[in-house]
Structure 1
Amino acid sequence: MAKVNRPVLPDGPIREFFDALHQLHLAAGRPSMRNIQISIGRDVLSHTTIHKALRGPKVPSWGAIELIVEVLADKAKKNQPTTIEYFRQLWARAEGWSVDDHAQKERQHPPKDASARPILDFLLGALDEIEGTSAPEGTSRTILTGIDGLDDLTGGLRPGSLNIIASRVSVGKTAVTSTIGRSLAIERSISTAFFSLEESENEFQMRLLSAQGGVPFRQIRASQLKDEEWTRLARTMTDIASAPLWLMHSSTLNLRLFKQEIERLKSEHDLKVAIIDSLSPMVAASIEDGSAQDMADALRQLKRIGSEHRIVIIATARIKESSATYPTEPELADLKDGDDILNEADMVALLHRPDLYYFEDRPGEMDFRIMKYRHGPRYAFTVALQGHYMRILNLPRGWPNNMKDASEEESAATNEGNYGSLRHPDDSEVDKQGSSE
């Protein structure tokens, strides 16, 4: 049995809430935190999060409390719906809102952001953001992805932003997002979570080992490795193991579970970036679960989660397949649920690989077309794809077709020189092998 010390609290709704929670824990036989975690599901809440929720004094999220109360009510042989509703009322009062007159209070006392304020109130905040964006590496408030064409346009992705990377099947969305994840977590120790709805944990780990260690993916999968490649993988595993990178694989991940995991990772590990691969299965699971009504509602919830926890969210999406033998570059009209994505996302990037349809057409190159960026122009640039290593690399700035305004694609950039953190390939390294998805 686990004993949880009660927080010392003054009389009021918060004390009433924690007193009731401790009484329920006692009635359930004082199960341990790990016992509660197993009943909820190991992948849903950590035992540390459960302990903090019971210990207080900070009022936890309703999502965590609902799951804990459901388990404790079952162990205490109490009516679950009635107990959950009772605690919902207590939790709402502890949060400072009466459930019955919530709407009336909101009308009488609107949030500060809902009132018009003098422009002077905003100037210091804007100045802080400008200073943060231009600060040296490691102190900036924005997050550099390591893809330099993207970082040149954005100055780094802003916490709270929702960014969509879309392409047709097998173009390389996952190669792009895993490259960003490696750049953030392994190379710069930025806390990053990768939510995979399509690849298993083992497949993702093999992808990381191939990309980071420079060992062909097919050889890793087939276990056809030379001695020096085994040595390289061993060194790479050490680098990956020490990185602040978290992986969650679930084909049924929905918004409710995603939010709970984000809350845990933010609280315990100061999460900075969440990558979702891919968006459509998550939205479908959320609609089926009832945690979202449609794509637009799901995207708005993702933006709220990002804003509340000050994290960057990057998600992949699919573009409708073309019936043409040689498909042209994708457009926003080809994007499934394109209107909703365009309305809600802060950035939308479309990927295209000419050599996927005709081998000799710019082999090993991938075009990034930034079709929407809330804080800047449309934009296009090219990266190198190494499908056999499951990664992308930066190309020199003067590379043909690189660094163009997407609305004026006939004007090629003339600047020369190299980009930063991702290594540039030699001509011999540019990939001429197939799919990297």
Structure 2
Amino acid sequence: MTDTYTTGLEGVDVLTGGLHAGTVTVVLGTSQSGMSTLLDTCVRANAFTHHTPAMICDRETPAQDRVKRIMSGLSGVNLATIQRGKFTDVQRDRLRRAADATQAAPLLFSNDHTVDRLRWSIIGTPPRTRVVAVDGMRFLDFSDTVTPDHDRNVLSELCEMARDLNVAVVATHPLSVHASGRVPTIADVPDGFASLADTVLLLNRPGLAATGRRWESTHSDLVEVICVKARLGQFGTTSLVADFERAQFISAAMAA
């Protein structure tokens, strides 16, 4: 029986069966659909609630900015307020307590640029990481050369790494722009992803509408998570409510 870890969201755990050691879950969505927020929620639940050693690999966002996102969800202080750096006494106290929790939590940050380097970061840094969140899988390299099959090769190496190290990997990747403005389906998943990944989740934010080349929100915080593949779960859809001001998701049932 494999070790199983939470996504931090009950509805998603019901669909997927959670994050399983030795497997890769791919999360796909268009811009502003909440992919990074889903990873933040997952990492906070594992590292801070369940004390499961976790790692965030993010080549696009500086580590200090990623820490601010984690701190926002932990403290309840808006991310914009943290970025401005001006706090009330109450907010400062909340952030101080969140900082203490962050120092004690088994959470690591990585900006490794290849899957091989990420593998060695996991092996060489105690405590041994159990959950790996890769935000922006396309920014990783599988070799020194970019090929037309780059993204698929990176995913293949992530799957091999997950099996070899017995870690649960959850990674994000953008959906094709052709999926914008409608509910995505498995047909929108890049070639080879569905066969390689153990679980494939699509994010759909109905409150986003495409206007030319610019995304505009209709202020809806509802995000649908559509499970189109789950070797250890089930097909289906669950609804989440996004609190983007604090970089976190909550289940729609809890928000009602």
Q: How many residues align?
A: 250
Counterpart check, 1:223 vs 2:82: no
Among 265, 269, 274, the alignment partner of 2:127 is 269
> Per-residue displacement from partner, 1:359-417 (whole Å, max 9, x unpaired)?
558x2111000011123431101011001111101222xxxxxxxxxxxxxxxxxxxxx
Letter of the 2:203 partner, please give it: L
- Contact 1:350/1:368 (8 A) holds in 2: yes
Among 329, 341, 354, the alignment partner of 2:183 is 329
Whole-Å separation in 1 of the counterparts to 2:7 and 2:166: 16
Alignment of 1:367-378 (within 5 A): 367-378=224-235
> Per-residue displacement from partner, 1:32-73 (whole Å, max 9, x unpaired)?
xxxxxxxxxxxxxxxxxxxxxxxxxxxxxxxxxxxxxxxxxx
Among 356, 373, 379, the alignment partner of 2:236 is 379
More helix by share: 1
> Per-residue displacement from partner, 1:82-123 (whole Å, max 9, x unpaired)?
xxxxxxxxxxxxxxxxxxxxxxxxxxxxxxxxxxxxxxxxxx
**Residue 290 of structure 1, CA deviation:** 7.9
Alignment of 1:144-183 (within 5 A): 144-183=6-45
**Residue 271 of structure 1, CA deviation:** 1.5
**Residue 179 of structure 1, CA deviation:** 0.6
Whole-Å separation in 2 of the counterparts to 1:333 and 1:317: 15
**Residue 177 of structure 1, CA deviation:** 0.3
Among 289, 297, 308, the alignment partner of 2:153 is 297
Unpaired runs of 5+ residues, structure 1, are 1-128, 133-140, 397-423, 428-437
Letter of the 2:105 partner, please give it: A
Among 70, 82, 91, the alignment partner of 1:208 is 70
* Higher RCO (C-alpha under 8 Å, 6+ residues apart): 2
SS at match of 2:80: helix
SS at match of 1:388: helix
Whole-Å separation in 2 of the counterparts to 1:305 and 1:187: 26
Whole-Å separation in 2 of the counterparts to 1:376 and 1:178: 22
- Contact 1:191/1:271 (8 A) holds in 2: yes
- Contact 1:319/1:334 (8 A) holds in 2: yes
CA-based RMSD: 2.2
**Residue 158 of structure 1, CA deviation:** 1.6
SS at match of 2:5: coil
- Contact 2:33/2:204 (8 A) holds in 1: yes
Task: Tell me which residue corresponds to 1:390.
Answer: 247
**Residue 151 of structure 1, CA deviation:** 1.2
Whole-Å separation in 2 of the counterparts to 1:306 and 1:229: 39
**Residue 303 of structure 1, CA deviation:** 1.4
> Per-residue displacement from partner, 1:321-372 (whole Å, max 9, x unpaired)?
2486xx011223333xx121111000000001111227558x2111000011
Alignment of 1:343-422 (within 5 A): 343-357=195-209, 360=218, 363-396=220-253
Task: Tell me which residue corresponds to 1:316.
Answer: 172
Whole-Å separation in 2 of the counterparts to 1:318 and 1:230: 36
Letter of the 1:273 partner, please give it: V
Whole-Å separation in 1 of the counterparts to 2:199 and 2:123: 24
Unpaired runs of 5+ residues, structure 2, are 210-215
- Contact 2:241/2:251 (8 A) holds in 1: yes
TM-score norm. by structure 2 comes to 0.90
Aligned residues: percent identity? 20
Q: Which runs of 4+ in 1 moved over 4 A?
A: 289-293, 358-361
TM-score norm. by structure 1 comes to 0.54
SS at match of 2:110: strand
Among 95, 99, 103, the alignment partner of 1:241 is 103
Alignment of 1:90-105 (within 5 A): none
Quickly say closer, same or farther: Cα 1:297–1:395, change in 2 above 3 A. same
Stretch deviating more after TM superposition (214-223 or 256-265): 256-265
**Residue 187 of structure 1, CA deviation:** 1.0
Letter of the 1:230 partner, please give it: R
**Residue 306 of structure 1, CA deviation:** 0.9
Whole-Å separation in 1 of the counterparts to 2:72 and 2:17: 29
Counterpart check, 1:198 vs 2:60: yes
Quickly say closer, same or farther: Cα 1:289–1:246, change in 2 above 3 A. farther
More strand by share: 2
